[in-house]
Structures are given as C-alpha cells and as structure tokens.
Amino acid sequence: PVLVVDFGAQYAQLIARRVREAKVYSEIVPHTATVEQMLAKNPVAIILSGGPSSVYATGAPFVDPALFETGVPVLGICYGFQAMAKALGGEVAQTGLSEYGGTHVEVSRTGALLQGSPTQQTTWMSHGDAVHAAPEGFEVLATSAGSPVAAFEDNARRLYGVQWHPEVRHSPLGQKALENFLYEGAGLSPEWTADNVISDQVDIIRAQVGDARVICGLSGGVDSSVAAALVQKAVGDQLTCVFVDHGLLRAGEAEQVEKDFVDATGVQLKVVDARERFLAALAGVSDPETKRKIIGREFIRVFEDAAREVVEDAGAHGEEVKFLVQGTLYPDVVESGGGEGAANIKSHHNVGGLPDDLQFSLVEPLRTLFKDEVRAVGLELGVPEVIVWRQPFPGPGLGIRIVGEVTAERLEILRAADAIAREELTRAGLDREIWQCPVVLLADVRSVGVQGDGRTYGHPIVLRPVSSEDAMTADWTRLPYDVLSVISTRITNEVKDVNRVVLDVTSKPPGTIEWE
Ligand code: XMP
C-alpha cells in the first residue's frame, strides 16, 4: 500500500481517499509507527500528512530520518513537509507570517512533482512555520509570500514535499500533484479499481470461509447490502441473509430488499416479519432514548432467533454456520484505532453481544473501503441503484422520526409524507446534493388548519434537509423554494391528518440531524 502517516490533523483520511481516487491502494498509519513497522507493510510510497503542531513545539511528532534512507518514495505535506525538511537538515523557521486559506504560489520549476502546473496557482494552506532552506540535494519548486520554500523535490532519491494541502478541493491542482507523486515519483499504476477490489475480496473471503456457512443481517442500507453481495459472489449458496422487517422502514424499502436485491444477487433470504412485535414493544412509549433502546433490544432478539434457526437448519444438514458478515468500513477501522482483527460493531443496528451459543467469526469484506468505493463495488456487482445510492438512514428508522408514541397509523402518515418528499427531491435532481433529509412527524403537536370550509386539527411535518461530509457536522440545505412549495402542497393535500409543513433551518451543532 501507499502509507499515509497521520500526524494528528483531520487530513489523513482525506489524503488516503485522494490516493484511492487516483486508483492506488492506501492505508493510514499513526505517526507513532516506527520505520520498521512501516516497512513491514511493504509500502510502495509514503505520504506524511499535515498536523496541528509546530515542529518546534515540545513533544511535536517526529520523523525518523532513517525513513528517507529506505528508498521508499516519500511525499511530505504541510507539517509532514516541514518535519521532512527538518529531519534532512533543511531550515524551518517561524516567519511570523501565517498563511491560512487560499494562497498564491509561484512555481519556478515543475520538476516531477508539479508537472503540468502553470507558473502561478492558488493553493490552500494552513501553517505558521515555514521552510526557509531546502535540505541538501533538493530543488526548490515553488515559493509563496509566507513560504520561501513552498515545494521541493529530490527526484533522484524520490523525496518530495509541498507546504500546501493538495488533498483539499480548494487546491485545484492538488490531485494532479498527488498523481504526479504516485505515478511519476513512485512509478505506480492506477490499478485499484472496483473490479480488482472484487476479485481480491472474493479470494480472501473464500480462503477465510472455506466450506462453512455464513450468515448476514441485511438492513436495506448500502453497507450490509454490498457486503452480502460480495460474500454471495465468493461463496454463493453458503450464505444466508436475514432481513428483519421491523416495520419502521420507509415506503418501498422492504420490497427493495426482499425483491430487487434478491433478484439482482440471488442471495438466499430469510425474512422475519416482526412488525407487530415492534409495535407492541413500542406501545405507550414516547421518550426518545427509551424508544431507541427498545428498538435495539428487539432487533437483537429477533435476529438471534432467526440466526439460531439458520444454525439449526444447517446443523440438520451436517453443516456449521461459522461466520457473520459485517459491513464495517475503513473509516470505522481507522477511528477505532485501526487494530487488525478488532471487531467493530458499528451501532446497535448491527448485531452486538450475541449469546454464547451464537458465536461467529466476522467476515468484513468492506474493511479496507471508503464509502464511495463501497458504492462503486456495489454498482459493479449489480446491486440495485436505489440501494447503492441510498442516503444514510438511522437503524431505529421511522421510530425516531415520530415525535411521540409510535403507532401503526402514525407510521402510515409519516411514510406517505416521506415518500412525497423523496419523490420530489429526486424529481428535482437533488438526491446527491443532499446528505439526507429526515421527514419528521410531530405527532404530539396539534396544529390548526383550514381545509375546505372547516377548521382542522392536524399535525405538522418537519423537513430536515442537511448537507454534510460525514454527519459529524451539518448545515441545513438551501432547497429551492419551488421544490419546497411542491412538497408542502402535496403533503398537505395528499396526506391525511397533516395540515402544516415546516422547514428545519438549524445547523449541526447545535441541532442533531435527527429530531430524536
Ligand atoms: P444525529 O442525529 O446524531 O445523526 O446528528 C447523525 C447520523 O447518524 C444517523 N443516526 C443513526 N444511525 N442508528 C444508526 O444507525 C442510530 O441510532 C442513529 N441515530 C442517528 C443519522 O441519520 C445521521 O445520519
């Protein structure tokens, strides 16, 4: 892999993604990894990320100069660039002139790293210290007002560095510089494609699973669907998927799993209709946390029962179910410390704490992938587009989008309103601009309306369209008024008991994305 050494800012994941976008496989390692540990991963190139530190700060993360003797091509970015300059005997100083945001850079020579760059360009910077003199053997490629050395390279030793952040979109030529490093500097080829990921994973899954049976819980979301499709491709009939229909999905979603997904992939699916059971468990409950707990608890119980049946069924045929598929993605692995073999259970929606008689080993075919790669793999495997492009949807489903008690009737109302909102957003071509758009029924609020000749007492529906990169922070999406208008008119005309549509214009923080 290309190793991205994480110096503790938020940039390492972004760099790793950009390397993948250049179709080269990348992995993140902490800056505490020793040169030996890095070499043990057989790196084809190493990128030192930016970081919040000054190379002069006490305890600043340090780069072992031995790294530059290994012959592995290295690119330093921002802090990584400065740390590299310092380790190799260059001069790093506090100029007093910090550069933040869009910064003008003059390219005096392109070298290998900046091939194709114009002499003037805008880059995105964020630094206080600057490299004043390049180490011996390096050529200075660029300068900016605050950075006497803004980029350098020693092409013979295959060492490169830039002060700016090539991984952010605000550096328009950034991706090109990264690709120059990967293709020209490190001599790599763009081979990390969905096709290759699939054939690699198929081999890995077959080797892991052997002829044992495998079980997978499907939620209707992207991750579990693509994970199941991969395992199905690898070991076909050894896989049984379980879909718990808890009745809290949106209109059409259960059918998409039960019919479209099954038709497209040929998986054996065991559907558990638990709709009544969930409604009964939720009766009389309106506290949000309690609802979540009940839904999580019931989900695990129902899944356990179904899994036990699959195990018994296999046993009756002299087979053993040894494995459970999890749709864990690479960001989950990195964020939880990245240890190999650590089982990361993402949320209560996935299966946590199965009882002793149901101990499975995990199959995690998406463990190395970012979300956009999961989608590309899903499309390549023929997973239906409605599933591949599904926006995030919470495990507790519509249960936490009814403010108040969850009842069958309220679910009907919310499902109808949500279907209209989704239909109109899709019609307006906004699906991929919006991160997600919860539609919430304020069931405990009565709103007064006038419909026909009389007053009505109905309930408001809230639209909560948000834009986000990762759901950690979000802003409310400025939807066009005419789209909002159509949604509002249709919902109040077509959905019984709803006489008001309101728009949530709160960012996160302070508001969360979901209302409960
Ligand atoms: P909040 O409301 O915390 O949501 O801003 C952040 C993201 O997480 C989703 N979400 C959940 N997903 N189980 C899940 O699988 C949950 O209990 C849950 N609660 C919130 C939410 O839709 C948003 O994408």
What's the pLDDT tens digit per position in 201-231? 999 999 999 999 999 999 999 999 999 999 9
Question: What tens digit of pLDDT does each residue of 475-502 get?
Answer: 999 999 999 999 999 999 999 999 999 9
Residue 80 is labelled as binding a ligand: no
Is residue 78 part of the annotated active site? The answer reads: yes
As a whole number, mean pLDDT of residues 174-182 equals: 98
CA of 392 to the centre of ligand 1 (A): 8
Residue 147 is labelled as binding a ligand: no
pLDDT at 484: 98
Separation of alpha carbons 175 and 178, rounded Å: 5
Comma-separated ranges of CATH 3.40.50.880 domains in the chain: 2-185
Pocket test for ligand 1, best of 513, 515, 516 (most atoms within 8 A of CB): 513
ipTM of model over 0.85: yes
Tokens describing residue 111: 């070298």
**Which CATH architecture fits 2-185?**
3-Layer(aba) Sandwich (3.40)
CA of 221 to the centre of ligand 1 (A): 13
Q: Residue 337 — very low, low, confident or very high, per pLDDT cuts 50/70/90?
A: low
pLDDT of 293 strictly over 80: yes
Closest CA to 461 of 405, 501, 420, 516: 501
CA of 402 to the centre of ligand 1 (A): 15
Residue 225 is labelled as binding a ligand: yes
Please say whether the beta carbons of 128 and 146 come within 8 A. Answer: no
Is residue 437 part of the annotated active site? The answer reads: no
Please say whether the beta carbons of 498 and 420 come within 8 A. Answer: no
As a whole number, mean pLDDT of residues 446-461 equals: 92
pLDDT of 348 strictly over 70: no
Tokens describing residue 270: 């065991």
Phi, psi torsion values for 251, nearest 5 degrees: -55, 130
Question: What tens digit of pLDDT does each residue of 82-117 get?
Answer: 999 999 999 999 877 789 999 999 999 999 999 999
Comma-separated ranges of CATH 3.40.50.620 domains in the chain: 194-388
Instruction: Kindly give the number of the ligand 1 atom that is closest to the alpha carbon of 393.
Output: 22
CA of 244 to the centre of ligand 1 (A): 19
Instruction: Kindly give the number of the ligand 1 atom that is closest to the alpha carbon of 511.
Output: 5
Pocket, ligand 1, Cβ cutoff 6 A: 292, 347, 349, 392, 394-396, 436, 471, 508, 512-514
pLDDT of 471 strictly over 80: yes
pLDDT at 336: 67
pLDDT at 204: 98
pLDDT at 149: 97
Amino acid occupying residue 316: A
H or E stretch at 39? helix 35-40
Residue nearest to atom 6 of ligand 1 (CA): 471
Average pLDDT of the chain to the nearest whole number = 94
Question: What tens digit of pLDDT does each residue of 303-319 get?
Answer: 999 999 999 999 999 99
Residue 189 is labelled as binding a ligand: no
Please say whether the beta carbons of 455 and 449 come within 8 A. Answer: yes
Range of weakest confidence among 201-215, 327-341, 352-366, 481-495: 327-341
pLDDT at 343: 34
pTM of the model: 0.89
Pocket test for ligand 1, best of 464, 468, 507, 514 (most atoms within 8 A of CB): 514
As a whole number, mean pLDDT of residues 185-208 equals: 97
CB burial class (10 A; 0-12, 13-18, 19+) of residue 392? middle
pLDDT of 342 strictly over 60: no
Residue nearest to atom 4 of ligand 1 (CA): 513
As a whole number, mean pLDDT of residues 220-245 equals: 97
pLDDT at 353: 62
Separation of alpha carbons 250 and 21, rounded Å: 33
**Which CATH architecture fits 194-388?**
3-Layer(aba) Sandwich (3.40)
Tokens describing residue 311: 């195990």
CA of 10 to the centre of ligand 1 (A): 21
Comma-separated ranges of CATH 3.30.300.10 domains in the chain: 401-503
Residue 221 is labelled as binding a ligand: yes
Please say whether the beta carbons of 72 and 65 come within 8 A. Answer: no
Instruction: Kindly give the number of the ligand 1 atom that is closest to the alpha carbon of 512.
Output: 5
CA of 394 to the centre of ligand 1 (A): 5
As a whole number, mean pLDDT of residues 424-451 equals: 96
Residue 340: how many CB atoms within 10 A of its CB? 6
Q: Are strands 2-6 and 45-48 parallel, antiparallel or unpaired?
A: parallel
Residue nearest to atom 20 of ligand 1 (CA): 394
Residue 53 is labelled as binding a ligand: no
Separation of alpha carbons 304 and 462, rounded Å: 35
Residue nearest to atom 9 of ligand 1 (CA): 394
Per CATH, which fold does 401-503 belong to? GMP Synthetase; Chain A, domain 3 (3.30.300)
pLDDT at 341: 33
Instruction: Kindly give the number of the ligand 1 atom that is closest to the alpha carbon of 296.
Output: 17
Q: Residue 332 — very low, low, confident or very high, per pLDDT cuts 50/70/90?
A: confident
As a whole number, mean pLDDT of residues 229-256 equals: 97
Tokens describing residue 197: 């990921």
Q: Which regions of 268-403 does DSSP assign to beta strands (E)?
A: 268-273, 321-325, 361-363
**Residue of 78, 216, 241, 437 marked catalytic:** 78
